[in-house]
Amino acid sequence: MGNRRFLSSLAAAGFALLSLGGIAQARDVQHELGTTNVPDEPKRIVVLEFSFIDSLAAVGVAPVGLTDDNKPERITEQYRAIIGNDFVSVGTRKSPSLEMIASLQPDLIIADKTRHSSAYKSLSAIAPTIVLDSLTGDYHSALEQAQVIGDAIGKSEEMKARVAAHTARFESVKANVANAKKEGRTFQFGVVSSRGLYLHAPHSYNGSLLMALGLPLSLSAEGAGVSYESAYVKTSLEQLSEINPGVLLLGRYSENTVTDQWKDEPLYKAVTAVKEEQVYYVSGHNWARLRGIVASELTFDELEAALAKVAEKTGK
Amino acid sequence: MARASIKLLVLLGALLATAVLSLHVGGRADVGISQFFSLLSNSGERTLQELVMLDIRMPRTVVAILTGINLAIAGVILQAITRNALASPSILGINQGAALGMTLAVLLPSVFVVGVEAMAIIGALLAGTLTFGFSGGFRGSIRPLPLVLSGVAVGAFSFAMVRFTFTLDDEVARDVILWTTGDISGVRWHDTTALSLWAFGGILAAMLIAHKLNLLAMGEAAAQGVGADPRKTLLIGAVIAAGLTGVSVATAGPMAFVGLVVPHLCRIVVGADHRRLLPAAAVGGAVLLLFADGLSKLVVAPEEVPVGVIAALIGAPYFVYQALFSKELDL
């Protein structure tokens, strides 16, 4: 009897030691709003921005909960191929449901600085929360954030390797861009809907990605760091003709867009990109809403395809 | 008579000057008023600059004129039928009701099948009816303070509903913000049709009831004394005002203060007789919006400030002045 008690207390002590070891391994993660103690290898992760899904997918980790803006198609097939479909939507990125998040009993929450800072306390009460600047961050900071996330979920080495592979891909695209540059065209990305054309300035996320690649952009870099809104410039046809991009890369956000409405207008036809048939429709969702390693590689694919067509047409 | 024609000349001169301003400035620096004249003389192949003037600048200027006319006429009518100097489409919640109607039409197109323009007018009518109802307007007596308070309440409610859409989606939110600030940067000739029909019909109808509006202004009892049924005038006036506001909001978004400030200023210039006040306000409204349109393209060129913001920047200080010093308000 006494023996057994001794054994069981030994087991209990051993267990306590083990869990102590666990706590000792738990790491402090520095983020936008301070330092958070994150458990070792969190298993139930909830993410509140698309770029965080991207970072998890980059190292093959599936979240239990994510924000899909209540539009399942916003979690694209490229992500689903990696993270599967066994996640729960916790609502919109703008106002995620705290109740849904709590019900998932997460052990790590990754939130956005702009959108979720005001909910940081509530989120922290549910689970250890780290806050990163996804919405207003640029391409470079998206890669840094991926590493922070990799460290936080105990996949530092995997993430380092993934970022290295990504960087190699980035460099090859950059070489491609350098070739295209010789043709002397300026490029401009924007998203277009039935309500208007929004060009993405060099200090927007996508602008920073294209700038990093060395692509000559049509919009000037003035106004950088002014505000999130200033990165997305509502552009009238008259302004577009003044900016006069040589290649126009457009993401379509609705069926009938203003560029469709403009297509018979002489001024639109006089824009260099339109006149020389250098308007390419790309996935606005991948280019602008999604951010991070996986998403930017999708952007690379579409950009290289467009560059090839530009070269082909110019060669003729 | 000489003084009246001087006033007319001043108004028309202001119209001409602001129209030139609105036509002259814009995204392209190489397009200006000279293209307007070369369009008139050039019958052959048109240059790109001339086409910008014809396809983009001119319809925008026309929309500014028509929106200004519509909102000013709506303001004059509302101030007459409510006998309240503070009445205007934005103060009575009618602008906001129209914006709510449009928002519903865009968010739930399958439920509200009548289309964006019609929903704007329906929203405007409904908001106006509610404001009148809450302030006791249907019982026959409209007192200024309850009317303004009801209008503020109806407007705040409508706008709260519109703002709710901000939480839904970034792109929807951006669109709604655009409508709710008043923006005419993307208009083309086809946007002018409904506006011009309403403007023409609105001026005509308002002129036809101008005499009755004069009688109403003396007080309902006096109006009844000379055999006019004030309720009929009130109803007709309200429908015209809501229609004019709705169609303007559907094209340009709600422009605050135009319908409030213009009737006041014109009353100072031409007096309270609606047979003169209505045409003067029509011109005045056009002038104010043309001026605002010109400024909206200049303030942060080459980008633009929505014209509604500029209109509010011009109108709001006058509203405050009016609220603080006016004797007519009698709050």
In chain B, where are the structural domains located? 60-325
Residue A197's DSSP bridge partners are A192, A235
Same domain, A199 and A87: no
pLDDT score for A12: 54
**Cis peptide leading into residue B302 (ω within 30°):** yes
Q: What percent of chain A has pLDDT over 70?
A: 89
- Name residues 287-306 of chain B within 8 A of A (Cβ): 302-304
Tell me phi and psi for residue B23, to 5 degrees: -75, -30
Same domain, A208 and A252: yes
Task: Find where tokens 């929505």 sit.
Answer: B306
Interval B251-277 mean pLDDT: 88
Same domain, A156 and A177: no
A134: tokens are: 């996804």
Domain that holds residue A140: 20-162
Asked if residue A11 is part of any domain, the answer here is no
Shortest distance between the Cα of A174 and any Cα of chain B, in A, equals: 31
Mutual angle of helices B58-81 and B2-24, in 10-degree steps = 140
Name the residue of chain B whose CA is nearest to A196's CA.
B186
B115 falls in which pLDDT band (50, 70, 90)? confident
Asked if residue A9 is part of any domain, the answer here is no
B24 falls in which pLDDT band (50, 70, 90)? very high
B17 falls in which pLDDT band (50, 70, 90)? very high
What H or E segment, with its residue span, contains residue B252? helix B230-252
Same domain, A134 and A201: no
Using the predicted structure, report yes or no on whether residue A35 has a pLDDT greater than 90.
yes
Distance of CA B274 to the CA centre of its chain: 18
Asked if residue A15 is part of any domain, the answer here is no
Lowest mean pLDDT among B157-166, B176-185, B261-270: B176-185
- As a whole number, the mean pLDDT across chain B is 84
Same domain, A182 and A157: no
pLDDT score for A24: 42
Using the predicted structure, report yes or no on whether residue A127 has a pLDDT greater than 90.
yes
Asked if residue A273 is part of any domain, the answer here is yes
Note the ipTM here: 0.73
Rounded Cα gap, residues B186 and A256, in angstroms: 15
Same domain, A49 and A153: yes
Using the predicted structure, report yes or no on whether residue B222 has a pLDDT greater than 80.
no
Question: What is the residue-wise DSSP string for B253-273?
Answer: ---TTHHHHHHHHHHHHH-S-
A86: tokens are: 């066994």
Name every residue whose Cβ is closer than 8 Å to that of residue B43 and which is 6 or more positions away in sequence.
none
Query: How crowded is residue A17: how many other Cβ atoms within 10 Å of its Cβ?
Result: 10
Q: Report which of residues B115 and A117 the model is more confident about.
A: A117
- Domain stop point among A162, A194, A219: A162
- C-alpha to C-alpha distances, A260 to A16, A237, A256, B22, nearest whole angstrom: 67, 12, 6, 26
Q: Which CATH number fits domain B60-325: 1.10.10.10, 1.10.3470.10, 1.20.1250.20, 2.60.40.2470?
A: 1.10.3470.10
Q: Which residues of A touch B46 (CB under 8 A)?
A: 266
Most A CBs within 10 A among B54, B58, B170, hence the mutation to make, goes to B170
Residues A208, A209, A212, A217: what is their CA dihedral angle, to the nearest 10 degrees? -70
B95 falls in which pLDDT band (50, 70, 90)? confident
Name the residue of chain A whose CA is nearest to B30's CA.
A242
A316 falls in which pLDDT band (50, 70, 90)? low
Contact (Cβ atoms closer than 8 angstroms) between residue A27 and residue A36: no
Task: Find where tokens 């703002």 sit.
Answer: B163
B270: tokens are: 């031409």
Rounded Cα gap, residues A203 and A161, in angstroms: 28
Interface check for A193 against chain B (CB to CB < 8 A): the answer is yes
Q: Report which of residues B167 and B183 the model is more confident about.
A: B183
Asked if residue A12 is part of any domain, the answer here is no
- Domain stop point among A115, A137, A162: A162
Interface check for A94 against chain B (CB to CB < 8 A): the answer is yes
Contact (Cβ atoms closer than 8 angstroms) between residue A161 and residue A292: no
Shortest distance between the Cα of A42 and any Cα of chain B, in A, equals: 30
Contact A238 B31 (CB under 8 A): yes
Using the predicted structure, report yes or no on whether residue B56 has a pLDDT greater than 50.
yes
Same domain, A48 and A154: yes
Most B CBs within 10 A among A70, A191, A234, hence the mutation to make, goes to A234
Of A198, A239, A270, the CB nearest to B27: A239
pLDDT score for B271: 87
Interface check for B26 against chain A (CB to CB < 8 A): the answer is yes
Lowest mean pLDDT among A30-34, A295-299, B323-327: B323-327
Structural domains counted in chain A = 2
Q: Report which of residues A61 and A239 the model is more confident about.
A: A61
Q: Residues A222-263: pLDDT tens digits?
A: 654 455 567 888 888 888 988 889 999 999 988 888 999 899
Length of chain B, please?
Answer: 331
Same domain, A119 and A193: no
pLDDT score for B128: 87
Contact A267 B56 (CB under 8 A): yes
Interface check for B55 against chain A (CB to CB < 8 A): the answer is yes
Contact A253 B171 (CB under 8 A): yes
Q: What percent of chain B has pLDDT over 70?
A: 89
Same domain, A80 and A198: no
Contact A195 B174 (CB under 8 A): yes
Q: Residues A16-33: pLDDT tens digits?
A: 444 444 444 678 999 999
pLDDT score for B235: 80
Lowest mean pLDDT among A291-305, B122-136, B176-190: B176-190
Which range, A94-108, B168-182, B203-217, has the best average confidence (pLDDT)? A94-108
The three-class DSSP label of residue A151 is: helix
Task: Find where tokens 């135009």 sit.
Answer: B258
Q: Which residues of A touch B169 (CB under 8 A)?
A: 69, 92, 94
Mutual angle of helices B58-81 and B192-208, in 10-degree steps = 30
Name every residue whose Cβ is closer than 8 Å to that of residue B239 and which is 6 or more positions away in sequence.
B125
Contact A193 B175 (CB under 8 A): yes
Q: What angle do CA B61, B290, B328 make, to 5 degrees?
A: 140
Interface check for B182 against chain A (CB to CB < 8 A): the answer is no
- As a whole number, the mean pLDDT across chain A is 88
- Domain stop point among A104, A139, A162: A162
pLDDT score for A113: 95
> What is the domain-level CATH number for residue A141?
3.40.50.1980
pLDDT score for B49: 85
Same domain, A174 and A311: yes
Using the predicted structure, report yes or no on whether residue A302 has a pLDDT greater than 90.
yes
Asked if residue A127 is part of any domain, the answer here is yes
Question: What is the residue-wise DSSP string for B112-149?
Answer: -TT-HHHHHHHHHHHHHHHHHHHTTGGGT---HHHHHH
Residue B159's DSSP bridge partners are none
- Name residues 227-256 of chain A within 8 A of B (Cβ): 233-234, 236-239, 241-242, 253
pLDDT score for B331: 43
Query: How crowded is residue B331: how many other Cβ atoms within 10 Å of its Cβ?
Result: 9
Interval A265-283 mean pLDDT: 92
Using the predicted structure, report yes or no on whether residue B169 has a pLDDT greater than 70.
no
Interface check for A223 against chain B (CB to CB < 8 A): the answer is no
Contact A239 B303 (CB under 8 A): yes
Tally of CA atoms within 13 A in the half-sphere of B289 that contains its CB: 32
Contact B170 A94 (CB under 8 A): yes
Rounded Cα gap, residues B330 and B320, in angstroms: 15
Name every residue whose Cβ is closer than 8 Å to that of residue A105 and which is 6 or more positions away in sequence.
A44, A127
Asked if residue A218 is part of any domain, the answer here is yes
Amino acid letter for position A210: L
Distance of CA B79 to the CA centre of its chain: 13
Q: Report which of residues B233 and A158 the model is more confident about.
A: A158
The three-class DSSP label of residue A232 is: strand
Q: Report which of residues B2 and B85 the model is more confident about.
A: B85
Interval B201-206 mean pLDDT: 94
Same domain, A212 and A141: no
Helix intervals (H) in B42-89? 48-52, 58-81
- C-alpha to C-alpha distances, B320 to B257, B313, B317, B330, nearest whole angstrom: 11, 12, 5, 15
Q: Are strands A45-47 and A247-252 parallel, antiparallel or unpaired?
A: unpaired
| Edge-first strand listing for the sheet containing A65-66 | A88-89, A65-66, A45-47, A108-112, A129-132
Interval B18-31 mean pLDDT: 88
Asked if residue A282 is part of any domain, the answer here is yes
Lowest mean pLDDT among A141-145, A152-156, B47-51: B47-51
Name the residue of chain B whose CA is nearest to A234's CA.
B303
